Amino acid sequence: MNILFTYIKAIHLQESSVAIINKVTKTNCYTDDEIEVNEKETIYHFDNGVVICYKTETDNAPCELLCEECWISYEVLDSCQQKITPLRKIFHNSCQESFWLKMQLTL
């Protein structure tokens, strides 16, 4: 069994037991009620056949929060018959993602 964190480490260029062999990135920018929204989607192919989609969405709306809201997701598109848990992970800001990544390192 693999954990999704194994693949996320590789995506963030950290030491991992899997290696990225290919990636394809698409970007999109649009305006919604005078707010500019930027989307980025990268599909990662790993050396063991697993395919992961990493998406981010940010906007330029004014925000007074210490950690601005954004949308970050990782989703297993093809597990290549491997049991990967969880199959999807979503974060609502980069601070939440950073905290989760640090916590996974301690497990």
Q: Give the model confidence (pLDDT) of 28-87 as tens digits.
A: 999 988 889 999 999 999 999 999 999 999 988 877 767 888 999 999 999 999 999 999
Tokens of 33: 């009620």
Specify the pLDDT at position 33.
Answer: 86
Query: Distance (Å, rounded) from C-alpha 27 to C-alpha 58?
Result: 12
Confidence (pLDDT) at 6: 94
Picking from 7, 25, 17, the residue whose alpha carbon sits closest to that of residue 76 is: 7
Radius of gyration, CA atoms only, the chain: 15
The pTM score is 0.90
Q: Is the pLDDT of residue 25 over 80?
A: yes
What is the domain extent for residue 95? 2-106
pLDDT at 3: 93
As a whole number, mean pLDDT of residues 82-103 equals 94
Instruction: Count how many domains the chain has.
Output: 1
- Alpha helices for 1-107 (secondary structure H): 4-11, 94-106
pLDDT for the residue 1: 57
Nearest to 72 by CA among 51, 50, 88: 88
What count of Cα atoms within 13 Å lies in the side-chain half-sphere of residue 28?
Answer: 10
